Structure 1
Amino acid sequence: MLDHLTLHVKDIDRSITFYKQALAPLGYIVKAHHEPTLGFGVDDGTLHSDFYVSPIEGLEAEASPVTPVTHIAFLADSQQAVQAFHAAALAAGGRDNGAPGPRPYHPGYYSAFVLDPDGNNIEAVVDWAHSNE
């Protein structure tokens, strides 16, 4: 079981703006402030953040001018939340990488994909085990 993960990005301000808007339909808010790193988590009244955005720094930034592409899937509570995520992410400057809809992975898998400002593949998904529809 994961507790949290950190995504390293080239432009922290651009990415924070993107994720604030893109993740709002999934109930995510900024919870942890470890400037310049920010932690996002579901607005559940706790201090726990499970998704952090942090700048690439030091030797890591110098060694590679390209940020490694990462895939992250966020669990949504409905197909409407997946659709709202996709629309919000596009409005925040993301690029479409798969419109909301069922996927052939297995029955009940409904998701949408966007590329964030660094080209990371970000997904919102309702899976058969979690779907309330």
Structure 2
Amino acid sequence: MIDHITLRVRDLAATRDFYTRALASLGYRKAYDSVHDGVGVLGFGFDAPGIGLKIDTWFVDHTEPVSGPTHLCWRAADRHQVNAFHAAAIAAGGKDNGAPGVRAHYHPNYYGAFVLDPDGNNVEAVCHAPA
């Protein structure tokens, strides 16, 4: 089970703007935004039952080499959240890499959407529940 992930990015300001907008549709919010050991660090989290704020997505500014391209996927509660994620990520400047829809080759209820972030990472929201 993965607890958190950290990516190195070229432009923390662009990353901040993109993910603040894209991840809000999945219940995430910017939860950490500071400088640590001289490097900008940004964290996004959600309210986890029994835990409180859980930061699981981290970005570090201008650390070479940059991570990627990488594929990241967040689980959505329903298909509406997948649609909202895709729309928000595109509105935030992401590039469409797969419109919301069923990907039956993964499994019959796999409903996902894909967007390229400012660093070219393929980011996705997915719902595994039936329609």
Same fold flag (TM > 0.5): yes
Within 1, Cα distance between the matches of 2:41 and 2:21? Answer: 17
**Unaligned regions of 5+ residues in structure 1, if any?**
none
Within 2, Cα distance between the matches of 1:56 and 1:3? Answer: 23
The corresponding residue for 1:92 is 92
Within 1, Cα distance between the matches of 2:56 and 2:107? Answer: 26
What's the CA shift for 1:47? 3.2
Shift >3 Å, 4+ stretches: none
Deviating more after overlay: 18-27 vs 33-42: 33-42
What TM-score, normalized to structure 2?
0.87
What's the CA shift for 1:32? 2.5
Q: 1:74-85, aligned counterparts within 5 Å? A: 74-85=74-85
Which has the larger helix fraction? 1
Show CA shifts across 1:89-129 (max 9, x none): 000000000000000211110000000001000000001xx
What's the CA shift for 1:2? 1.0
Within 1, Cα distance between the matches of 2:13 and 2:127? Answer: 29
* % identity of equivalent residues: 51
Within 1, Cα distance between the matches of 2:124 and 2:73? Answer: 4
Change (3 A) 1:132 1:102: closer
The corresponding residue for 1:126 is 127
Change (3 A) 1:106 1:132: closer
Counting matched residue pairs gives 124
Within 2, Cα distance between the matches of 1:9 and 1:111? Answer: 24
**Unaligned regions of 5+ residues in structure 2, if any?**
none
